[in-house]
Amino acid sequence: MKAFFNYIIEVADLNIKSPCNTASLSKTFKMVQHRPRKILDKETVDEIIFKSRSIRDRLIHELQARCGLRIGEVLNLHAADIHGRKLLIQEPKSGRDEEIAFMPEYISARLAEYVASQKLSPGDRVFLLCYSTMWNLVTGLGMQLNVRISPHDLSRHSATYASRNGVPLEIISKILLRHQDLKTTQVYLGKISDTEAIRWLDILHGK
């Protein structure tokens, strides 16, 4: 809008000021500066998982940090959605009817044991928690480690860790994060540091 008014004033040779230059509008439409989020390292994530108080809490953190599930997907998980090492994600963020997420074998076995121990029926939710409780679980553990984190940081870590260990972008995008567009995945992974770039060149071509 600012460029448009400046163009009109200049072309028409008007002796007026652009209305977009007022202090109130500049403050209202000020560009928000987005700070890049810190990517959690594997040691921190492992510590968060291992410090979990119960098998339930540990499973919640592992499903996010190892399998890439979003907090809402964990909350909406039902016993009937578990099929071996696959999870059926109902009403995913993408807008599709459903999606499939995958688990490492040890998490799959631990989750099956938990469902059996809780005697859950197929229609029962696996984790009877609300959003704020799940949030507090993660942030509380972060405070113990002097790290400021959110549940989103755990699911973000799953993708970044996979990327740093050579997993193809297509696999991360379509399988782990279940994005429809590779560009979304690239933004999600954040920037590559100079150290990381050099490390991968050394791995590929030698020092």
Beta-bridge partners for 90? 98
Q: Is 86 helix (H, G, I), strand (E, B) or coil?
A: strand
Per-residue HEC secondary structure of 13-33 comes to CCCCCCHHHCHHHHHHCCCCC
Q: How many CB atoms lie within 10 A of CB 63?
A: 26
Contact between residue 68 and residue 159 where contact means Cβ atoms under 8 Å apart: yes
How far, in Å, CA of 142 to CA of 181, rounded?
31
pLDDT digits (tens, 9 = 90+) for 22-46: 665 555 555 545 455 567 788 888 8
Listed by start position, the domains of the chain span: 52-205
pLDDT digits (tens, 9 = 90+) for 103-146: 889 999 999 999 999 999 999 999 999 989 988 888 888 888 88
CATH number of 52-205: 1.10.443.10
pLDDT digits (tens, 9 = 90+) for 171-201: 777 667 776 655 555 555 555 566 655 665 6
pTM of structure: 0.68
How far, in Å, CA of 155 to CA of 141, rounded?
16
